[in-house]
């Protein structure tokens, strides 16, 4: 039998991101010029293993019928004070690297990312840019996603409010 291990403290390089740790659940709304608007439920988990990165897992389901809509997995890093990188893989054949800033002011953690690299498999829809913004206030995480894809310019795509589970 394997003995349970004590919790591992986050690496000092990612201490700024500690408010993200845990499971978040809530609801969001999606829209884009090429699709019909939709509502969804979401679960996000940020974890760590004691190294200088957070792990990230995200899943969404359609609000009305519960069918799976999207998933992402990846890592969040702080390569320098106030700088963040988000490395993501999507099951739709897209990879995304976003770089940006992280600040805490009056207890509010704000992260802003713009894509620096987007990879697309041969069958993926053409995505050329993604921007993400997250705000964490206590046990509430709010985010917005902007996307440039299928010939559209960088445009609002998703927004959600999640609560710490």
Domain boundaries in the chain? 12-164
Predicted confidence band at 9 (pLDDT cuts at 50, 70, 90)?
Answer: confident
Given the structure tokens 């659940």, which residue do they identify?
25
Is 117 annotated as belonging to a binding site? no
Query: What is the torsional sign of CA 41, 29, 89, 67?
Result: positive
Is 157 annotated as belonging to a binding site? yes
Q: Which CATH number fits domain 12-164: 2.40.128.20, 1.25.40.10, 3.30.1510.10, 3.40.50.300?
A: 2.40.128.20
The share of the chain scoring above pLDDT 90, in percent, equals: 92
Query: What is the torsional sign of CA 121, 149, 46, 102?
Result: positive
pLDDT above 70: residue 6: no
Within a 10 A sphere around the Cβ of 53, how many other Cβ atoms? 20
Rg of the chain over all Cα atoms, to the nearest angstrom: 16
Please report the beta strands in the chain, taking only residues with DSSP state E, as ranges in sequence order.
22-32, 35-47, 54-62, 68-80, 83-90, 94-105, 108-120, 127-137, 140-149, 155-164
Average pLDDT over residues 37-64: 96
Both tokens assigned to 80:
């320098």
Residues 82, 92: Cα–Cα separation, whole Å: 31
Per-residue pLDDT at 1: 66
Average pLDDT over residues 127-149: 98
pTM for the model:
0.92
Residues 79, 52: Cα–Cα separation, whole Å: 9
Per-residue pLDDT at 2: 65
Is 163 annotated as belonging to a binding site? no
Query: Are the C-beta atoms of 100 and 129 separated by less than 8 Å?
Result: no
């Amino acid at each position: 039998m394997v003995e349970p291990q004590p919790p591992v403290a986050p690496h000092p390089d990612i201490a700024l991101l500690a408010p993200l740790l845990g499971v978040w659940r809530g609801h969001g709304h999606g829209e884009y010029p090429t699709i019909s608007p939709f509502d969804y439920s979401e679960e996000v988990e940020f974890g760590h293993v004691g190294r200088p990165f957070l792990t990230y897992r995200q899943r969404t389901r359609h609000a009305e019928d519960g069918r799976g809509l999207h998933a992402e997995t990846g890592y969040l890093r702080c390569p320098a004070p106030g700088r963040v990188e988000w490395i993501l893989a999507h099951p739709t054949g897209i990879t995304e690297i976003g770089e940006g800033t992280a600040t805490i002011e009056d207890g509010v953690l704000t992260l802003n990312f713009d894509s620096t690299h987007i990879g697309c498999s041969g069958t993926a829809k053409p995505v050329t840019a993604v921007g993400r913004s997250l705000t964490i206030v206590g046990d509430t995480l709010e985010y917005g996603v902007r996307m440039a894809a299928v010939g559209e310019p960088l445009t609002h795509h998703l927004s959600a409010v999640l609560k710490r589970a």
